[in-house]
Amino acid sequence: GAVVSQHPSRVICKSGTSVKIECRSLDFQATTMFWYRQFPKQSLMLMATSNEGSKATYEQGVEKDKFLINHASLTLSTLTVTSAHPEDSSFYICSARDPGLAAYNEQFFGPGTRLTVL
Amino acid sequence: AQSVTQLGSHVSVSEGALVLLRCNYSSSVPPYLFWYVQYPNQGLQLLLKYTSAATLVKGINGFEAEFKKSETSFHLTKPSAHMSDAAEYFCALGGNEKLTFGTGTRLTIIP
């Protein structure tokens, strides 16, 4: 199956700093990637849809100026948490959609990034 | 509107017993359905998927699911539970621009 990587897997930062998380599709080109946030013992919450070469589409209630998404190539999307605060601490997961499977919206998930803001 | 309901946020079964995780869906378009498994501090791994071909779908690790349109269900089963099956399981509905996830079911295996 398709492989999606995320880096870093874990990051601890001080309040007020910015953190960048990378999501890469390793063996296919992903025109569309997704960013999710997951709180402990809860389901995934979609934050935004990232389309290569265009602006991301954010879900209602997600601050686009706080969670900057860039999808500059067909294999890389980045999520930058700007001026992070303790309430931004969470597990962030990206996924990528194989264009050949777009009809089903089958997504391949990265391993996640645990962000802890002190 | 799209929605997924997973009945039972926690399910416990004995090792070797049948695993049954329930998923019901609501969709205004032909549904494509997925079951994902998540181990602690990891991403989601696809177990199996229904994409309008065979209604009985076999996946990895001995899991299977049956699509029943009349019942709008896509329940996940495994004949004999193994300790390594302990994880969080998510049912998801595709078919439009986004995946709609259920709230998840935590499966515990009793030795």
Contacts with B103 from chain A: Cβ below 8 Å: 42-43
Interface test with A, best of B23, B89, B98, B103 (most A CBs within 10 A): B98
Distances (CA, A) of B102 to A9, B36, B45, B61, B89: 25, 10, 15, 21, 9
B contact residues 24-63, partner A, Cβ 8 Å cutoff: 32, 34, 36, 41-46, 49, 51
pLDDT score, position B94: 87
In angstroms, what separates the C-alpha of B18 from chain A's closest C-alpha? Answer: 24
Cis peptide before B30 (omega within 30 of 0): no
A47: pLDDT strictly greater than 80: yes
Contacts of A50 in chain B (CB under 8 A): none
**Per-residue model confidence as pLDDT tens digits over A19-43:** 999 999 998 888 899 999 998 888 8
Amino acid identity for residue A105 in this structure:
N
Tell me the one-letter amino acid at B83: M
pLDDT at A99: 77
* Res A34: pLDDT: 95
Q: What is the predicted pLDDT for the residue at B98?
A: 85
By the 10 Å C-beta count (0-12 exposed, 13-18 middle, 19+ buried), A40 is classed as exposed
What's the pLDDT at B6? 96
A61 touching chain B per CB within 8 A = no
As a whole number of angstroms, the distance between CA A86 and CA B15 comes to: 40
In Å, how far is A44's CA from the nearest CA of chain B?
Answer: 7
Q: pLDDT tens, A64-106? A: 999 999 998 889 999 999 999 999 999 999 999 887 776 777 8
pLDDT-based confidence at residue A16 (cuts at 50, 70, 90): very high
Q: Is B67 on the interface with A (CB under 8 A)?
A: no
Contact A106 B96 (CB under 8 A): no
Res. A1 pLDDT band, cuts 50 70 90: low
Contact A109, A4 (CB under 8 A): yes
Angle at B44 between CA B40 and CA B45, to 5 degrees: 110
β-sheet bridge partners, residue A11 = A115
Is some CB atom of chain B closer than 8 A to the CB atom of A14? no
Burial status of residue B42 (CB atoms within 10 A of its CB: 0-12, 13-18, 19 or more): middle
Judge: B41–A108 Cβ closer than 8 Å, yes or no: no
Q: With a cut of 70, which residues of chain B have pLDDT below it?
A: none
**Eight-class DSSP state of B60:** G
Which two tokens mark A38? 């997951």
Q: Which of A107, A108, A114 to mutate to test the interface with B (most CBs of B within 10 A)?
A: A107
